[in-house]
Amino acid sequence: MKKYYFVFSEGSKINQLICAVLINFPVFCYGCIIGWMSPMSLLLQSENSPRGSPLTITEISWMASIAYMVAVIFDFIISYMGEGIGRKITLIFLSLCTAGCWILKLCSMEVWAFILARALAGVTMAGVYVICPLYTKEISENSIRGFLGTLMIFFQTTGNLFLYIIGDVLSYTTILWICLAMPAVHMVLFLMMPESPSYLVKNGKIDEAIRVLAWLRCRPEEHVSLKEELEGMMKEQRADAESSQFALKAIIQDKILFRAFRIAIIVALAREVCGAIPVLNFAGEIFSLSAEGGGGLGLLTPNQQAMMLGAVQVCGAMLASSMVEIAGRKPLFVVTAIVSGLTMCLLASWFLTREFGVALPSWIPVTTLCLTIFCDSAGIQPVCMVIISEMFSFKYRGTVLAASMTLASIASFLQMLFFKPLANAIGIHVSFYFFAAVCLLAALYVILVFPETKLRSVEEIQNDLKTKKEKKAELEMRSAKEIETEKENEKV
């Protein structure tokens, strides 16, 4: 049987960090897929298109949106794969799909190849948002759970920026070969990583689970903290076993689970419809549109301005990593959602006044977009991913992540398919006013409903979701049981 050893000082968190980095590397590759659209959509629509004839707006819209439609189908499939064959094998499968995306683009420049490649990217999209936060949570100890959870958004944003940069300086084919090499290397490296301890416990591999925990926590297998952590996992899974075998049915039937599920769905939808997705996919074109009215940064090309946006996004993700354990999940989400909403309003107003011939300062579009993307990566995205994995026990995490991502993918698909046609038809300012309203309403909802999850167990978090009446009834029931127990003891 495979044995795990640690080589760093006892109690070191370095093995957890190494494992979390490799778990989230497919997210970097996915970020590259998303980032590819900004420079390449401009190139493929130009007269200098590498395929000879430029792509139409309709073809670009389908390329951008098809990934989200495929993700709708694969969110639950990937969740079931994670439960059936394990987190590790599923993650390697996702890297294989990512590699297939770039191979298709290398083999053909036909429209069908571009759309099929983006469809494969949809499998990766579904997978990384379901498996990566789940896997990361299950290998992390509580003290760094939030920090490691935010690595997902850091890797995605870094992938966006990486493609913005190489998309501006390298040739079309060179970019594709670089992007293909990354998932190929990941598949090899990840073979050395362990399976999730929770998954091993679920499958009765207790000895293997304790060895994995020992390696992750850099402690000897006999250490009391490892036994306590293992007991916690077993207790959690015993409680899960008492409920309905069908996870989604159990969530709907249980009042507290359903409240947590509703929060997860609403926050996930707010994350997708806050405006960041169309901005990231069409950043170059938005800057180009603003430049027509005297906006943007005159010395930079639209794609170079998008690169600046990507750099701001990475800075936001870095802030999230450092602040999520200090400020807590709830304050970080609320502040960033409010700022994002206000900046979206300002950007929409800039485009609106431009239509009436009123000249506002030319720095507004770049500044507001940068602030919006900064807030998205600093709070809205990372907090959403962290809290969904923290609010549910092992049995329900995958199902909730899959359900939330399915609905979010539908919302994203509709955005990507209709953003450009609607912006051309009714004005881009209407879109940004809508995104602003979503951000501000999401902030209000989180203030009123959302429980803080920092350094808290699933039981403590879900207890906060109970009404005063439910808490009182539970207390009375507990007191009645204690009295009954005391009477029985007296009889004995």
Assigned token pair, 212? 């994995």
Assigned token pair, 418? 């209709």
Asked if residue 284 lies in contact with residue 167, where contact means CB atoms within 8 angstroms, the answer is no
Q: What is the pLDDT of residue 85?
A: 92
Assigned token pair, 320? 């999230």
Q: What is the pLDDT of residue 5?
A: 57
Of 305, 307, 303, 335, nearest to 319 (Cα)?
Answer: 335
Q: What is the pLDDT of residue 6?
A: 59
Alpha-carbon distances of 175 from 38, 163, 278, rounded to whole Å = 13, 8, 22
Alpha-carbon distances of 54 from 104, 166, 170, rounded to whole Å = 19, 21, 20
Q: Which tens digit of pLDDT belongs to each residue from 324-357?
A: 777 788 899 999 999 999 999 998 898 888 888 7
Q: What is the pLDDT of residue 22?
A: 95
Assigned token pair, 310? 């990507």
Alpha-carbon distances of 180 from 38, 125, 176, rounded to whole Å = 18, 16, 6
Q: What is the pLDDT of residue 197?
A: 92
SS3 for 465?
A: coil
Q: Which residues contact 3 (CB under 8 A, 6 or more apart)?
A: 211
Q: What is the pLDDT of residue 488?
A: 67
Q: What is the pLDDT of residue 490?
A: 62
Q: What is the pLDDT of residue 1?
A: 38
Q: Which domains does the chain have, with CATH numbers?
A: 14-193+243-464 (1.20.1250.20)
**Cβ-based neighbour number of residue 16 at 10 Å:** 21
Low-confidence residues of the chain, pLDDT below 70? 1-7, 242-245, 280-303, 305-306, 479-483, 485-492
User: How many angstroms separate the CA atoms of 436 and 348, rounded?
Assistant: 9
**End-to-end CA gap in the chain:** 49
Assigned token pair, 256? 């507290």
